[in-house]
Every structure is written in C-alpha cells, then in structure tokens.
Structure 1
Amino acid sequence: MGEKKNSKSILIVDDSRLIRLIVKDILGVEGYDVETAATAEEAILKVKNKKELFDLVIVDINLPNQNGFEFIRKLKSQAEYKNIPVMILSGDATPPSVRQAIEVGAVEYLIKPFKAAELLKRVVKLIGYVEEGDHYPELKELLRKEINRAKRSNVNLSLVLAQCEEKTKVEISKIAEQVKNKFRDIDTVFEVDKNTLALILPVTGADGTAVVIKKLKDKLPGKWYFGISIYPDNGKNEGELINFAKESVMKEISNSVQEREEAKEK
C-alpha cells in the first residue's frame, strides 16, 4: 500500500466513452485527479502538456490508429515516464497480449468487465490512497462495538457509506453535524474523510436503512452515492461490512454513469 498524499493524478486512455466516464467517476470519488483520452495521440498530447507527471496511466489495448502497446512504448521512451506505473485495462485476456503487456512495461493487467472494487484495489496497490487523515480505523472500532451489541441481542445493524461526487462547498464536518440532528440518539454519524460520511444504524435492517437514505438525500448538498451493508447478512465483522458498503457505492457510481449515457443516446 502506497504512501498517502494530497493529490495523485491518473490518465485513462480508452476509446469507450462509457469506460472513461465510469473509471473517472469511481476514482474521482476516491479523491484521485483523473484525466481521460480517447486515443493514443490525445494521450501523448496530455502527457506533454501536463506540468507535473501523471502518477499512473491506465490504457486499453485496442485503440484507434495506434494500439495500447505502441502507446506504452512511446510513453516509456520518455525518460521521466520510465518508472511511472502503467496498467492495462482490456477485454483481451489472451496469453500473448499479457506477455506483450509485460514486455512493453505494464505492471498491472485488469480484464473487462471489471469490478469497481478490483479497479480501486489495483490503483491503491500501485500509487496508494489520496486522502490524508481518513478515519477508517476509528470507524472500524465503532463498528466492532456495535457488532458485539447486535450479536448479543440477535438484531440487525446497518452501515451506510455516503460519498459526494465532488468536493462540496460546505465542510463535511458541518454536514455531519446537520445530519446528526436528524437521526436517533443511538445512531452514529461519522466523518470518514473529506467527501465520505458513515452512518452506523443499530437495530436497523434493509427497509429501515432505505428510509434513512431517502431522508438523507433531501438533506445533503450536491450529488451523493450510497453504499449499504447489513449485519450479519453482508458481513460478520467490521472489515467485511465496510468492504461490502464500499463495493455498493462503486456499483451505484457505475450504474449512474451508464444510465446517464443511455439517456443521452435516446
């Protein structure tokens, strides 16, 4: 896992507009600065015009005019990009393609269709997280205590992760305070990082959580995505619950992008 810093930039090179949007939204919500290109030529221009180096380049193999392998060779021929990680994102999973990817300098190979959580996992492995001062350790401790209570009483427990599409003009801590005033005393509203809130809802199952989210949508500024996990159905411990909720958030992001694109095409 890489060291965290305030800003990490990623270049996505793919001729599919939908893939570019999905990847950008998934990684953008996590705090990465993401730029996109539809062709190798456009990507090279973005590389040349960018004052600072990209931290990671994600490339499809099948690009118009110049394929992904040729682009990687050209990119790696630049001394400053020799050690910048490159990841292949492609539907081509044949052994020759994988071998060629390694030969030209790619260090990761993710097959389409991909799970959002797997994409993020690979990105974190290569360049680390973005956010400084996130509070996932504290969230895990709070969840652990609530899980023990739920286990003793044989009741449900819900975790909601709410992620803002873009950084809001209102500080997340102020949003958290406003939200706290709208819920029960036994509920916990927790600021995870600069664009993520966590809600721990004791004695609450899926139906009750749906009501909470509906209420939240009316209170939060901007566009938010929600991930839900229910104890014990979606996880038996705090780590499993958090991971399930994160995957739910990323699925909602992917679905939202796809729906927007389909609506444009009608």
Structure 2
Amino acid sequence: MINNSRILIVDDVIDNIRVAMNILKEDSYEFSFAQNGTEALRLIFDDTEPFDLILLDIMMPGFNGFEVCQKLKENIKTVEIPIIFLTAKTDVEAITKAFEVGGVDYISKPFHANELLARVKTHLELYHARNLLKKHNLYLKSKSKFEKQRLLSELEDSQKELIFILAELMEATSDETGKHIKRIAESSALMAKYHPTLNEGDVETLYHASPMHDIGKMTIPMEILHKPGLHSEEEFSIMKRHTSNAYELLSHSKRNLLKAAAIIAHEHHEKWNGKGYPRGLKGEEIHIYGRIVALVDVFDALTHKRHYKEAWETNDAVKYIIDHRETQFDPELVDIFETHLDEFIAIAKSK
C-alpha cells in the first residue's frame, strides 16, 4: 500500500522536483508534479484518484504554498491529505504559519535524503492507518457483538504495531534510542501500577502509548534537532512545537492508544507549577498520563548520555526529581518515585 502511494510535488523550480523524485523513487511511489499553485490545485481537484501526500513549496508565482494548503483544508474531499512543506524559508514565522494552515511537517532546503525518505514514509503510514481505521469502523457496524469484539482486539493489536513502527522511525530522526523508549514504557507502567486512582487498563495504555512522547520531533528541522550547542530563542520556539505538532498528528484518531499517545506527546513538557509548555497547564489541569511521562522522561534523560550532555550520577538525578516536587513534578508522583526508588533505578540501569 505504501509503495503504491501517489505523491504530488509542487515547486516552481524543476530541478528541485527532480531531486525529490530521485530520492524517493527507490520506494516505488507514483509521482505527479506542478510548478505553481494554480496548476497544483487543478491536478488535485480534476484527478479522479486522490493523492496520498503532497510535497509543497511556499514561494511560488500565483497561489503560494500557504494559500494552496488553505484551499485544500477547506475542501471536504482534500482536507485529510497530508501536506509536507518543502521550502528554503527557515524563519520562525514561516514555520509557524505552515502548521497553522494545516501542514503536517516542514522540511528545510537543502534537505538530507534520509530525512526526506523517513518523513515521507512516516506520514504515509499515518495517512493509510487512519483510512484503514475508518474502513474498519464502517465494517464493524454490520457485525455481531462477538465479531465486533474479535475485530476490535485485532484493531488494538494494529494500533500497537503502528506505534512500534512510528517509534522506530522516531529513533532514526532524533537522539532517542530504542533502549530509552523501552525504559520510558516500563517506568510509565510502573508508576501507573502504584498510583491509587489508575487501573490495569491504564498500566497497559501507558506502556504502549508512552513511547510516542517525542514523536513530534520528526517534524523539527534536522539542523535544530541535532544542534550540538544551546538553541537560540527562535530555535527553542521551533523545538517546543514538537508537542503540539504531535498532537495534531495523533489527536484525530478515536482509538484509545493513539488518543493516549496524543495526550502524552502534547503534555509531557507541562509543569506542575504552570511554567511548562506548550499551554502552561498547571497542577491537575495536566492529564495524569502527561504528568507521569514528564517525570520518568526527565529521570531517564538525566541518567543517560545525550549528544548535548553527559549522564548524571544516579543520586544527583534522584535529588533533582525530589527537589522539584510541587514545582516541576506532581508531588504524589514524586512520593511514589521515592517509595519505589529501587525499582525505578533498576529500569534506568537496564541495558
């Protein structure tokens, strides 16, 4: 299904179209192209077979990329087609507007081949998965109660498989590793296990959904995501958008695991005292899933080396968590963390 996907490339420079097609041709996609917004809209609306993905430049004669995207999002037949902006504009204002008008991703020129391949594959996977879930929903309405339960179980397994695929793709485009993702899953489930208001269903949900906490990093330009030094104020503003970008990607699903993943991705950088991002939520305004992943993610990040820092000593990382009780972290979760500290440390030290 993915290999037969139809991709429209819109750019006023024919050489840019050729470069993108040459990079993507190894995955056997079907291509069409347009050199201005007017031509692109004609192709999209006149074609009887819809496109699965659009790579869209911003600066073009006639309709610019923003205007093309807005027109597609206003039409019920094209509103769900994923649009990746592929442009030389790298200012914060342009990136912000790209997501505001409905883009799902933003890749800066000149782009890396692996980056383009990974991001195109990711958004095609999401698009086809959403379409598959819709078809299953329609199919379920005509089935018996027993058959519905069986099919829903299969759908749940499909969600878990999709999350695993997306988490692997995330590893390829960020400094997250498979070990980090596994530790986050185990630590989140452990925290939920000891929380007095959560049940076994919450434990399982957190185990499968928490690995998606940073999936939005796939939408951040590589040069910002992998910058070795400190980010400028503008760069950090773009970096923070990985939370809301992920929510936009995942929140349209009605499936429990993807809905939970959307919440976690959106809220795991919020702080108990209201000084986090992206919305500045405070206390119990933050979903319990977001509060849990916020704590375990920081603890794991502190105790392991990243490209911008060395690993902290375990005792120093534990002290940081405790010292930020009622400021950064939910005090009840910090208490659980302290009470079962040996178990959390064992997960952090697991290979």
More relative contact order in 1 or in 2 (CA 8 Å, sep 6+)? 1
Tell me which protein shows more strand as a share of its residues: 1
TM-score (norm 2): 0.35
Which one has the largest radius of gyration? 2
TM-score by length of 1: 0.46
